Amino acid sequence: DQQVKQNSPSLSVQEGRISILNCDYTNSMFDYFLWYKKYPAEGPTFLISISSIKDKNEDGRFTVFLNKSAKHLSLHIVPSQPGDSAVYFCAASAINAGNMLTFGGGTRLMVKP
Amino acid sequence: DSGVTQTPKHLITATGQRVTLRCSPRSGDLSVYWYQQSLDQGLQFLIQYYNGEERAKGNILERFSAQQFPDLHSELNLSSLELGDSALYFCASSVGEYQPQHFGDGTRLSIL
């Protein structure tokens, strides 16, 4: 039972355009959500997070949106750069489960110059 | 550089053997987490320690165990290894709950 799903295995965008990565979850107890970026042969790198009391959080070119009623979150990258090409994972945790993260399967983003 | 150090980077061993993976958390982080990434299962939580005490357990096999030492480094012990244990094992650390976890670069374990 996948509690966190990233339905798009891959996404290709042109440099300078917006990249939108999506994530759905089923566990209504999740209340803290994160996005990680992963390059080959490296560990996941933290990008941005959002708690369930907010619906938007921005950090530079990265914005995360949370729609609790739809159990959906998205990561917007504007403008996209070739260096953003990587695998992106969304993750979620619930207060009653400590800080253990449940990860989605990842989306491979390719930004073309 | 996340500040989380994992050793060794690669480990090749045979079925039935026992290995120990080591993790040094970021300076100041009290929580350590272990995750397994295999091709068919994605990133799966194994176990969490906070300041030396076990805090949460995921789907960790009984053949696997972990501990966190007084200097806050952690070790993951895998015994009676099977072919299916071949995976990337990541360690992460955080200051506390509701704080982002920062990951090391992992240990790639190959069972022959």
Question: CA angle, A94 as apex, B103 and A40 as ends, to 5°?
Answer: 25
A95, pLDDT greater than 80? no
- Structure tokens belonging to residue B79: 């015994």
A103 touches chain B (CB under 8 A): yes
Percent of chain A scoring above 90 in pLDDT: 90
* Cβ A109 vs Cβ A11: under 8 Å: yes
Average of pLDDT values for B86-105? 92
What residues does B32 pair with on adjacent strands?
Answer: B49, B93
All residues of chain B having their beta carbon less than 8 Å from the beta carbon of residue A101 are 33, 35, 43, 45, 101
Buried b (16+ CB within 10 A) or exposed e, B37-59: beeeebbbbbbbbbeeeebbebe
Q: Do the Cβ atoms of B104 and A43 come within 8 Å? A: yes
Chain A: closest CA distance from residue B42 (Å): 6
Q: Write out pLDDT tens, residues A36-83.
A: 999 988 999 999 999 999 999 999 999 999 999 999 999 999 999 999
Judging by DSSP bridges, how do beta strands A30-38 and A45-51 pair with one another?
antiparallel
Give, for A12, the enclosing helix (H) or strand (E): strand A10-14
Interface test with A, best of B7, B53, B97 (most A CBs within 10 A): B97
Superfamily name with CATH number, domain A4-112: Immunoglobulins (2.60.40.10)
What residues does A91 pair with on adjacent strands?
Answer: A34, A103
